[in-house]
Amino acid sequence: LLAAGYTVAKEQLRITDAVVPNIELCNSVSSNVAVVAPVIKDNDRNYLVVAGKGFSLEFNKRSGYMTKYVVEGTEMIKEGSALKPNFWRAPTDNDFGARLQVKYAVWKNPEIKLVSMQQRIENQQAVIESAYELPEVSAKLNLTYVINNEGTMKVTQKMTADKNAKVSNLFR
């Protein structure tokens, strides 16, 4: 149909690395009112409690997950639920055709083992850090919660995978 070497289309695309803005969480400051840092209560056998004026949070010591978040008496997390990582998305028709739901099945519900859970007050904010191992996918996961004096929270999740492991990629 066309001669060899014929140019069908031509375009220049600029490809750059994604730049993610760093979100800083600060305490809310009112004039003539001292900032009161949240308090970390580690006196319960099963839960670590972070409390401040008008809010409280509970972290399960066995899982490291936040299981309760109450603001001005309103529960933000349903009883029996937790804020936990999810590495799966619903497969599409094209995924089923390529059997990707089988190829990436290890990511649907990987075993997540809590290795450590640390807490501290830093810059008058509560910081809770949970470290996990994901043995099925040869990865390590870190969850960091920073809670300010009003109960506003920044959650950071960082996963480090073993580059030499023979594990399928995450489902895109």
The tens digit of pLDDT for each residue in 54-92 reads 999 999 999 999 999 999 999 999 988 999 999 998 889
Q: Is a pLDDT exceeding 90 seen at residue 127?
A: yes
At 29 the pLDDT is: 75
Q: What is the pTM of this model?
A: 0.80
Q: Is a pLDDT exceeding 80 seen at residue 52?
A: yes
Backbone angles phi, psi at 161, to 5 degrees: -100, 150
- Quick one: pLDDT band at residue 14, thresholds 50, 70, 90? low
Q: How far apart are CA 108 and CA 102, in angstroms?
A: 10
Q: Is a pLDDT exceeding 90 seen at residue 3?
A: no
DSSP state of 80: T
- Quick one: pLDDT band at residue 15, thresholds 50, 70, 90? low
The tens digit of pLDDT for each residue in 153-162 reads 999 999 998 8
At 30 the pLDDT is: 73
Q: How far apart are CA 63 and CA 32, in angstroms?
A: 40
The answer to whether the beta carbons of residues 100 and 24 sit under 8 Å apart is no
Q: Is a pLDDT exceeding 90 seen at residue 117?
A: yes
